[in-house]
Amino acid sequence: MSKQPVVQLDHITKVIGNKTIIDQLSFELFPGEVVGFLGPNGAGKTTTIRMIVGLMAPTAGEILIQGIDVQQDFEKAISHVGAIVENPELYKYMSGYKNLLHYARMVDGVTEERIDEVIELVGLQNRIEQKVSTYSLGMRQRLGLAQALLHRPSLLILDEPTNGLDPAGIREFRDYLRMVADKEDVCVLVSSHLLSEIELMCDRTLIIQSGKLIGEKQIQKEEVTAEAKKQIVQFQVNPVEKAISILQLQKIVLLYSNQTSFEIEIERDNVPKLVKNLVAEDVSIFAVETRVKSLEDEFLEITGGKSVD
Amino acid sequence: MIKFIRLIQNENMKMFSQVSNWVMLGFYFVIIFFNVAMAPVDETDQFVADPFSYFLSSADTPMVVITTLSIIWAAGIMAAEFSSGTVKLLLIRPVTRTKILWAKYTLVVLYALVLSILYYVLTLMFGFLLYTDASLSSEGVMILAKAAGLSFLESLFMITLAYMIAVISYNRSLALGVSMFLYLTNTVIAFFLQTKPWSKFLFFTQLNLTKYASHDGAVSALNTLAFALCVLGVYFILFVVATWVTFSNRDVAS
């Protein structure tokens, strides 16, 4: 990529007490991408985010935002960042508008028009004059997003943004996120442990465990998957034994089988041929399903489903 | 500088959006009116030669209230951000921690200052309303001004102490408890420690400054106002530095 990265983490290490929370973590984020930041609880996601936004200082290594070191020139570096760190904790005793005004005063150049624009973007026009204590969690989440977008950041960091939201709220939030990512053209870093959600939202994922980057994956869009050569295909057939003997003749590797079905790894182009063979041998086929590996499978594969240490 | 003023404006907005602030201000006015109601109105009272100056000099109860309210704010204004988690969104703005720290402190000091000035204005106003033929001697003005200034310095010192404990411990109750305890018992502690020569270097034995208002400076040969101010000044600088160093370097992990 020839684009200048928005964020660069260079061998970041964080030691608290005598425990290494983050160990030599390095990655780069580029403009216009939505990146998922995955890891089991306690892997160091929040610590990493706190270091990027300057709430914590790294023990070693440096973090550059638009080429500016967060530790050296905090004011300048952080002016490119909008963030929600964990839950959007706002001043409950003030109205939504006063909350936004509060944050707008802390940055140069946020006009009243901009505040109104952001309120409209997150769809809070009708409730903005009411106190935040009367807001639902979903509305607080939206107000949190609004405060993060006020100063047109080039990097938006959302730490566990859907924590505590119901399914409808999660979906709504996801739609809003995609919309603002497109409309405001920002780089978004979303941390979460909800995998399916990350899968739906992001272009790329970073997986960390015990403070180390252990996986990085471009999320494949459906059309790409369809062209991928080897696939796992599940067949529901009767009788299974007969079908398996046919497979063995064709030297197809069997992955799994039970009373009613079997799974094989097979090239896409060979599926019709196999089906024809099975039908010719009088095997009844009830269903043929392609199993796409979900991010969850991959996540567990990569992290080994290990517990926190 | 403009940014600093905007930060104070923010803190002010937050302060006056809280119901507790209005309750406390209500309490402040109740105390002032109570003090007026208790003023000796009978001008022929044989125990009080000059009821007007008596009214002015006895009116230091409200100053205790002002200091108490200021301590409550000093203890809470930063600790509340930590306990509610709002500090995370507050500190990720293009503003240095130093500015945020001192904007909050400045607002509490301004709060104490405004309440003090308002108090003296109201007291004088009610004084002239109650005693229509009274006149203020220049000596009376001096004592009053001195008392006002010294009690404000007491408030300032207590604010700084409470703020330091709150910022270092993130604990509102601890800051409030320790500061209020020292503020209310400092004369008792000073009395018990008076035989120990080193005790005069402890800040809480020097905290009672208003006693110097009516004297000509010296209470005893060693305990002069200048000495007290020096001791308190050294502690003041110590507190400010401790607060500042802790806050600007600490990881925020709440």
Domain ranges of chain B: 2-184
Average pLDDT over residues B199-223: 72
β-sheet with A34-38: strand ranges across: A81-84, A155-159, A187-192, A34-38, A204-209, A212-218
Sign of CA dihedral A220, A222, A225, A231: positive
CB neighbours of A70 closer than 8 A, spacing ≥ 6?
Answer: A51, A52, A53, A54, A62, A63, A64, A77, A78
**Does A242 share its domain with A209?**
no
Q: Determine which of B8, B9, B20, B92 to mutate to test the interface with A (most A C-beta atoms within 10 Å).
A: B92
pLDDT at A68: 93
Tell me how far apart the alpha carbons of residues A8 and A68 are, in angstroms, rounded to a whole number: 10
| A236: in domain | yes
Give helix B97-130 / helix B138-169 axis angle, nearest 10°.
150
**Rounded to the nearest 10 degrees, what angle do helices A96-104 and A137-149 cross at?**
20
Q: Are residues A61 and A200 in the same domain?
A: yes
What percent of chain A is modeled with pLDDT above 70? 89
Domain count, chain A: 2
Could you say which DSSP state residue A307 is in? P
Name the pLDDT band for A218 (thresholds 50, 70, 90): confident
CB atoms B92 and A57 under 8 Å: no
Alpha-carbon distances, residue B153 vs A113, A234, B67, B207 (angstroms): 44, 81, 10, 9
Distance CA B129, CA B124 (A): 9
Please name which of A233, A240, A299 lies closest in space to residue A266, comparing C-alpha atoms: A233
CATH of the domain at A122: 3.40.50.300
| pLDDT at A229 (0 to 100) | 60
Closest chain B CA to residue A82: B92
* C-alpha span between B122 and B29 (Å, rounded): 10
Kindly calculate the radius of gyration of chain A based on its CA atoms and give it in whole angstroms: 24
Give the C-alpha separation, A25 to A12, whole Å.
5
Question: What gap in Å lies between CA A77 and CA A258, rounded to an integer?
Answer: 58
Residue A239's pLDDT is 87
pLDDT band at A8 (very low <50, low <70, confident <90, very high): very high
Q: Please, are residues A210 and A309 in contact by the beta-carbon 8 Å criterion? A: yes
Chain B residues lying within 8 Å of A21, measured CB to CB = none
What does the pLDDT look like over B18-64, one tens digit per residue? 999 999 999 999 988 888 887 766 655 555 556 677 777 666 777 88
> Is A252 within the bounds of a domain?
yes
CA distance B165 to chain A (A): 21
Interface contact A106-B96, CB threshold 8 A: no
Distance from CA of A74 to the nearest CA of B (A): 7
Residues 6+ apart with CB under 8 A from A294: A195, A196, A199
What integer is the mean pLDDT of B175-194?
89
Could you say which of A219, A236, A268 is where a domain stops?
A: A219
pLDDT of amino acid A309: 45
- Pairwise CB contact (< 8 Å): B6 & A107: no
Tens digit of each residue's pLDDT (9 = 90 or more) over B53-75: 777 766 677 788 999 999 999 99
Of B10, B19, B85, the CB nearest to A105: B10
Residues A110, A166: one domain?
A: yes
- Residue A18: phi and psi, rounded to 5, are -115, 20
- How far apart (Å, rounded) are the C-alpha atoms in residues A84 and A157? 6
Selected residue with higher pLDDT from A174 and B4: B4
Write down how long chain B is: 254
A205 shares a domain with A110:
yes
| Residue B98 pLDDT exceeds 80 | yes
- Is B93–A102 a contact, with Cβ atoms under 8 angstroms apart? no
For chain A, strand residue ranges (E) read 7-16, 19-29, 34-38, 60-65, 68-69, 81-84, 155-159, 187-192, 204-209, 212-218, 230-238, 254-257, 261-267, 284-291
The whole-angstrom distance between A206's CA and the closest CA on chain B is 23
User: CB–CB of B93/A55 below 8 Å?
Assistant: no
Do A68 and A119 sit in the same domain of this protein? yes
pLDDT of A1 reads: 46
**What would the mean pLDDT of A196-214 be, rounded to a whole number?**
84
What pLDDT shows up at residue A305?
Answer: 57
Structural domain including A186 reads 7-219
Neighbour tally for A210: CB within 10 Å: 18
How does DSSP assign A55-102, residue by residue?
SS--SEEEEEETTEETTTSHHHHHTTEEEE-SS----TTSBHHHHHHH
CATH code for the domain in which residue A280 is found: 3.30.70.80
* Last-in-domain residue among A196, A219, A242: A219
CB pairs under 8 A between A and B: 83
- Does residue A303 lie within any of the structural domains? no
Q: How far apart are CA B248 and CA B154, in angstroms?
A: 26
Please indicate whether residue A265 or residue A77 has the higher confidence score (pLDDT): A77
Residue B81: which pLDDT band, with cuts at 50, 70 and 90?
A: very high
Query: Is residue A173 domain-shared with residue A266, that is, in the same domain?
Result: no
pLDDT digits (tens, 9 = 90+) for A146-173: 999 899 898 999 887 777 677 777 787 7
Q: A178 and A266: one domain? A: no
- Shared domain for A173 and A49, answered yes or no, is yes
Q: Average of pLDDT values for A18-34? A: 89
Q: What is the DSSP letter of A265?
A: E
> Using 50, 70 and 90 to split pLDDT, how confident is the model at B241?
very high
Judgement on whether residues A245 and A174 belong to the same structural domain of the protein: no
Does the structure show a pLDDT above 60 at A268? yes
Report d(CA A16, CA A307) in Å as an integer.
20
Of B19, B88, B95, the CB nearest to A106: B95
**Phi/psi of residue A287, nearest 5 degrees:** -160, 145
Domain check: are A35 and A177 in the same one?
A: yes
Pick the more confident residue, A57 or B212.
A57
A216 vs chain B: nearest CA distance in angstroms? 27
- Reply yes or no on whether the pLDDT at A306 is more than 70: no
Q: Cβ–Cβ of A107/B9 closer than 8 Å?
A: no
- Verify that A21 and A93 share a domain, yes or no: yes
User: What's the confidence (pLDDT) of residue A74?
Assistant: 92
Peptide bond into A239 cis (omega under 30): yes
Mean of pLDDT over chain A: 84
**Residue A240 domain-assigned?**
yes
Residues of B in contact with A108 (CB under 8 A): 3, 94
Q: What is the mean pLDDT of residues A185-213?
A: 83
User: What tokens were used for A115?
Assistant: 């505040």
pLDDT digits (tens, 9 = 90+) for B117-136: 998 888 888 888 877 776 77
> Which of A219, A235, A266 is where one domain is finished?
A219
Inside any domain, residue A308: no
Same domain, A190 and A288: no
